[in-house]
Amino acid sequence: MTATPSQRDYSLIGRDAKLAVETGLSAAEWYHTDIPRKQMKELMQRSDGPAIRDTAIWLTALILSAAGGAWFWGTWWCVPFFFVYGVLYGSSTDSRWHECGHGTAFRTQWMNDAVYQIACFMIMRNPVTWRWSHTRHHTDTIIVGRDPEISVMRPPDLLRVMLAFVGVLDAWHAMLDMVRNAAGIISPAEKTFIPEQEQPKAIRIARIWTAIYAATIVLALYSGSFLPMMLVGLPRLYGAWHHVMTGLLQHGGLADNVIDHRLNSRTVYMNPVSRFIYWNMNYHVEHHMFPMVPYHALPRLHELIKHDLPAPTPSILAGYREMIPAFLRQLRNEDYFLKRELPPTARPYREEFHNDAVAAAAE
Amino acid sequence: MSDWVEACAAGDIDEEDVMRFDHGGRTFAIYRSPDDDYFATDGLCTHEKVHLADGLVMDDIIECPKHNGRFNYKTGAARGAPVCVNLATYPVKVEAGKVLIQIG
Residue A325 CA, distance from chain mean position:
22
Top residue of A135, A146, A286 to mutate, by most chain B CBs within 10 Å, is A135
Q: Is A219 helix (H, G, I), strand (E, B) or coil?
A: helix
Cis ω for the linkage preceding A272 (within 30 of 0)? no
Q: What is the pLDDT of residue A360?
A: 43
Examine residue A5 and state whether it is found in any structural domain, yes or no.
no
Chain B residues with CB within 8 Å of chain A CB: 14, 17, 47-48, 54-56, 58, 63, 65-68, 70, 80-82, 84
Which of A41, A132, A292 shows the shortest C-beta gap to B82?
A132
Query: How far, in Å, are B37, B51, B58, B90 from residue B73 at the CA level?
Result: 12, 14, 10, 10
Find out whether A362 and A154 touch, Cβ atoms under 8 Å.
no
Q: What is the pLDDT of residue A54?
A: 98
Running DSSP on this structure, what letter comes out for residue A268? B
**Could you tell me if A291 lies within 8 Å of chain B, comparing CB atoms?**
yes
Put simply, the answer to whether A291 touches B68 (Cβ < 8 Å) is: yes
In this structure, are strands B61-63 and B70-72 parallel, antiparallel, or unpaired? antiparallel
Spell out which residues of chain B touch residue A40, defining contact as CB-CB under 8 Å: 54
Find out whether B75 and B85 touch, Cβ atoms under 8 Å.
no
**Could you tell me if A131 lies within 8 Å of chain B, comparing CB atoms?**
yes
Spell out which residues of chain B touch residue A290, defining contact as CB-CB under 8 Å: 65
Examine residue A3 and state whether it is found in any structural domain, yes or no.
no
Put simply, the answer to whether B81 touches A290 (Cβ < 8 Å) is: no
Examine residue A206 and state whether it is found in any structural domain, yes or no.
yes
Examine residue A9 and state whether it is found in any structural domain, yes or no.
no
- How many structural domains does chain A have? 1
Top residue of B13, B16, B67, B83 to mutate, by most chain A CBs within 10 Å, is B67
pLDDT tens string B46-102: 988 899 999 999 999 999 998 889 999 999 999 977 888 999 999 999 999 999 999
Q: What is the pLDDT of residue A337?
A: 96
Domain edges within chain B: 3-103
Which of A107, A138, A197 shows the shortest C-beta gap to B67?
A138
Region of A233 (left: φ > 0; alpha: ψ -120 to 50; beta: rest) is left
**Where in the sequence is the domain holding A326, given as residue range(s)?**
15-361
Which of B55, B58, B65 shows the shortest C-beta gap to A46?
B58
- Sequence-distant (6+) residues with CB within 8 A of A136 are A146, A147, A148, A149, A193
Examine residue A335 and state whether it is found in any structural domain, yes or no.
yes
Spell out which residues of chain A touch residue B55, defining contact as CB-CB under 8 Å: 292
Q: What is the pLDDT of residue A359?
A: 46
d(CA A67, CA A292) in angstroms, rounded, equals: 37
The interface pTM score, or ipTM, of the predicted complex is 0.87
Chain A / chain B CB contacts < 8 angstroms: 44
d(CA A94, CA A128) in angstroms, rounded, equals: 15
Q: What is the pLDDT of residue A351?
A: 64
Q: What is the pTM of this model?
A: 0.90
Find out whether A48 and A111 touch, Cβ atoms under 8 Å.
yes
CATH 2.60.40.10 assigned to B3-103: no
Put simply, the answer to whether A104 touches B81 (Cβ < 8 Å) is: no
CB atoms within 10 A of CB A87: 23
**Which residues of chain A carry a pLDDT beneath 70?**
1-5, 349-363
Q: Is A331 helix (H, G, I), strand (E, B) or coil?
A: helix
Q: What is the pLDDT of residue A29?
A: 86
**Could you tell me if A278 lies within 8 Å of chain B, comparing CB atoms?**
no
d(CA A262, CA A266) in angstroms, rounded, equals: 8
